[in-house]
Amino acid sequence: MAIHTETLVALKKLEEHLAAQGKSKKRLETFDTDDTPEIDVVALLPNLALALQWLGTKATRPGRVPTNRH
């Protein structure tokens, strides 16, 4: 299956955006729980946008997942 050029460009934009957001002190607390800043970039990847919309209906409250699960 060949990946279209538009998809590769969209993935690159998303990768760059997420890298920048992941380093942002302002986004530290909400990076993994708030997809709002990614909406425009994710819109370039319709299947991912739909998946994130679905996930948004399942996540009922924001917060970090504990990393010390046993």
Taking only the tens place, the pLDDT of each residue in 12-65 is: 999 998 888 888 888 877 777 777 788 888 888 999 889 888 887 877 665 555
Average pLDDT, the chain: 79
CA distance 29 to 25: 8
**Long-range pairs for 29-32: beta carbons < 8 A, 24 or more residues apart:** 29/64, 30/62, 32/64, 32/65
pLDDT at 22: 84
Give per-residue pLDDT as tens, 9-20.
999 999 998 888
Q: Which residue has the tokens 């370039």?
A: 44
